Amino acid sequence: MSAAISSNRKIEEIKLVAVSKTFSVDEILTVYDEGLFCFGENKAQELAAKAKELSTKKIEWHFIGHLQSNKVKYVVPVAEYIHSIDSLKIAMEIEKVSAKIGKTQKVLLEMKTSEEESKYGLTNKNEIFGILNYISKSTSLDFQGLMTIAPFVEDEKLIRNSFVSLRNLKEEIEYELKIDCKHLSMGMTSDFKIAIEEGATILRIGSAIFGDRIYNPIGFN
């Protein structure tokens, strides 16, 4: 990636996740055959269905959407990473399902780093640290890092501030809690270059890989 090179970043330290939500299995296979094997979905049952259909492929699935407690059972069996823990309740449910099937689930905490009301995510430092302490004591949860979605604006300063905020929180966690925060999941098609400059280690790219997304209801929740 030219953006990584221009930011003095090593390409191998950045994981590219192709966001395949709403795209078909055939479209996923086309991208897979081109050498990408990490795919991101934001609907629990859509992820489960696609993972089942593509079970013979060596795909690393990422769940990147808001996760409800009653949907965890669909996600944990197939997702390598869950990016969207935004409450202690959901962390506890993921732990319960993971323990039941004997899995150690890789997880990230989702942070709300903008003022947009539509965004999910944690904002309270005490709550964040409380969830991290809970995860650190669990044998069924493996804390991997933090995730955020920057505001959908043209103002690059606001976008950059969102990513800087996430990076600063990573540094606070590592300094105050002595917990390794490996990943910063931030950056999408419209803002990934800024995200790389600010330390992203996981990019979630959709339309730049698959083309424009057409939202047709396909019966998944």
Residue 44 has pLDDT above 60, yes or no: yes
Note the pLDDT of residue 76.
98
Average pLDDT over residues 209-216: 78
Q: What is the pLDDT of residues 81-133, one digit of tens each?
A: 999 999 999 999 999 999 999 999 999 999 999 888 778 999 999 999 999 99
For residues 170 and 9, the model is more confident at 170
Report how far Cα 153 is from the mean position of its chain's Cα atoms: 21
Burial of residue 191 (CB within 10 Å: 0-12, 13-18, 19+) is buried
Residue 192 has pLDDT above 60, yes or no: yes
What is the chain's mean pLDDT, rounded? 93
What are the extents of the domains in the chain? Answer: 13-210
Report how far Cα 189 is from the mean position of its chain's Cα atoms: 14
Helical packing angle, 25-33 and 44-53, nearest 10°: 60
Q: What is the pLDDT of residues 170-184, one digit of tens each?
A: 999 999 999 999 999
Are the beta carbons of 52 and 30 closer than 8 angstroms? no
Residues 6+ apart with CB under 8 A from 188: 19, 149, 150, 195, 203, 204, 205, 206
Are the beta carbons of 96 and 137 closer than 8 angstroms? no
CATH class of 13-210: alpha beta
Residues 6+ apart with CB under 8 A from 105: 76, 79, 82, 94, 95, 98, 140, 141, 142
pTM recorded for the entire structure: 0.93
Are the beta carbons of 109 and 146 closer than 8 angstroms? yes
Helical packing angle, 88-100 and 125-136, nearest 10°: 10
Average pLDDT over residues 52-78: 98
